[in-house]
Amino acid sequence: MSPFAWRLEKKLPDLVIIHKNDPLAAALADQTVAKLKGEYRIFREISDFDGVRQKAPADFQPVLVISIGGDGTLLYSSRAWGLGGTPILGVNLGSVGFLAEVDPVWFNEILEKALNGQAEIETRQALDIEVARDDERLATFTVYNDAVINKGALSRIMNLKLSIAGSTFWNFRADGLILATPTGSTAYNLSAGGPVVYHSLEVVIVTPICPFTLSSRALILPLDLELYVSIDKNATDTHLTGDGQVYLPLQPGDLIKVGRSNSSLRLINNPHRQYFDALRVKLGFFNDERR
C-alpha cells in the first residue's frame, strides 16, 4: 500500500517537522506549520534541543518527515523517525547538502508533490553495527553515513584486525577506521582518502584513518560478507561513533560486527538536482568549459 494512502482515512494525517535551532530554519518551520495547520496533525521538534528528543504522542505515526537544516539534521531525523520507513524531505540550509538536497527555493513545490504522493522516493542502504564484549552483546545501532572507530587525543596508534567471511584478512595499525555506506562515502570517508561510491550500490567501505603504512588502503566490500573488526588488547582510550551522533566507549578486546540493515533511509528526491552535477559542484570537479 502507498505510504500516502492516508488520504482515504478520515482522521488528520500525522506529519513531523524537525529543524535546527537557528532563526532561518525556525522561520521556515513556522511558515510550514501555518500553511498546513488544520490539514495535518503536526509534531514539531528541534534537532539539537540540548541533545534530548521531545516526546511525540503515543499514537503519532507520521506519513512524512520534513527535515530543515543540513545533513546533520537529516541524520538526526532519520534516527528519530526514519527507521520505520517514513519518507524524509530534507531541506538544505547548510553548506554541503548531499543528503538534504532540497534548496528552500524548491521546497513548496516538492512538498506539495510529496503530500499528493507524486514525489520520487529513493531508498538508501543502512548498516547495522553490533558491539560485543566478553562474548556478550553490548550495543547495537544503525548508521546511514558511517561508523567510526577512533582514538582519544592522547592515545597511541591502535592495532586493528579486520576479519572477512570468517578469516583474518587484514592486521594494520592506524589512528582509526571508518566503516561507511555509499551514502557516507562523501563524508568522513572522503576526507580520509577513501573513494566516492555511487549511492545505490550495496557495499560497505572500509577506510583506515592515517594508517602507519602506505600499503593500507580503503576496501569496498559486498554486504553479504560477514565483516568483523576487533580492537587490540593493548588499545586504550578508543571509542565508536555512529553518524557523528551515537557515541560508545570501547575497551580492549571488543568485537564489532558490521552488516546489512533491515532498515533503510527513504529520501524524497529533488527533481531539479542530478547526483553527478551535485557531486561535481560540491566537490569542485569543474571541467574547462564550466570555469
Condensed to tens digits (0 to 9), the pLDDT of residues 224-236 reads 888 999 998 888 8
pLDDT band at 57 (very low <50, low <70, confident <90, very high): confident
Q: What is the mean pLDDT of residues 113-124?
A: 91
Residues with a catalytic annotation lie at 71
Name the helix (H) or strand (E) containing 33.
helix 23-36
What number does CATH give the domain 126-262?
2.60.200.30
Kindly report, as residue ranges, where domains of CATH 2.60.200.30 are found in the chain: 126-262
Q: What is the 3-state secondary structure (H, E, C) of 67-127?
A: EEECHHHHHHHHHHHHHHCCCEEEEECCCCCCCCCECHHHHHHHHHHHHCCCCCEEEEEEE
Q: What nine digits make up the cell of 77?
A: 531525523
List, in order, residues 6 or more apart from 225 with CB less than 8 Å away: 164, 165
Kindly report, as residue ranges, where domains of CATH 3.40.50.10330 are found in the chain: 5-120+269-290
Q: Of 128, 94, 90, 127, give the one whose Cα is nearest residue 111.
A: 90
The answer to whether 148 and 181 are in contact (CB under 8 A) is no
What number does CATH give the domain 5-120+269-290?
3.40.50.10330
Condensed to tens digits (0 to 9), the pLDDT of residues 89-116 reads 999 997 766 788 898 999 999 999 999 9
